[in-house]
């Protein structure tokens, strides 16, 4: 079961906006509005930032936003801050009945 495709790394300066892409197929990203995004600081448990493509859990900053077009989803971080430096993973429901993660993107704040 192949993973979703994410860029290995993305960087930006404080205050800038960055976008992380997540490419799948019509069996996962393109076929369902069930894409989620996770922030993972090494040594800590991952944290959900976005679910159902665009929804933010309570307590997550509105600097984080999600979108989807066709078989590709995106996570945008606006007003980049030092604390945003982490690994980010996308995840999607994949027909008929499992979840699949992306390979992860390392975000560096310059």
Site for another protein in 49-68 (CB under 8 A): 51-52, 57
Least distance (Å) between residue 63 CB and another protein = 19
What is the residue-wise DSSP string for 39-104?
Answer: EE-TTS--EEEEBTTTBPPTT--TTEEEEEETTEEEEEE-S--GGG-EEEEEEEEETTTEEEEB--
Nearer to another protein, 52 or 79 (CB): 52
**Under rule CB under 8 A, residue 110 binds another protein:** no
Among 18, 20, 77, 91, the residue binding another protein under the rule CB under 8 A is 91
Retrieve residue 57's tokens. 């859990």
**Under rule CB under 8 A, residue 48 binds another protein:** yes
Residue 2 and residue 5: Cα distance in Å, rounded?
Answer: 9
Retrieve residue 96's tokens. 């008929």
**Under rule CB under 8 A, residue 47 binds another protein:** yes
* Residue ranges in contact with another protein by CB under 8 A: 1, 3, 32, 34, 36, 38, 40, 45-48, 51-52, 57, 89, 91-93, 97-104
């Amino acid at each position: 079961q192949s993973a979703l495709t994410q860029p290995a790394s993305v960087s930006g300066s404080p205050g800038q906006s960055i976008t992380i892409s997540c490419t799948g197929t019509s069996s996962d990203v393109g076929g369902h509005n069930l894409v989620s995004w996770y922030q993972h600081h090494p040594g800590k448990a991952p944290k959900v930032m976005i679910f159902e493509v665009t929804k933010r859990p309570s307590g997550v900053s509105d600097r984080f936003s999600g979108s989807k077009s066709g078989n590709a989803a995106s996570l945008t971080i606006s007003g980049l801050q030092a604390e945003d430096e982490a690994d980010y993973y996308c995840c999607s429901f994949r027909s008929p009945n499992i979840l699949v993660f992306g390979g992860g993107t390392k975000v560096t704040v310059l």
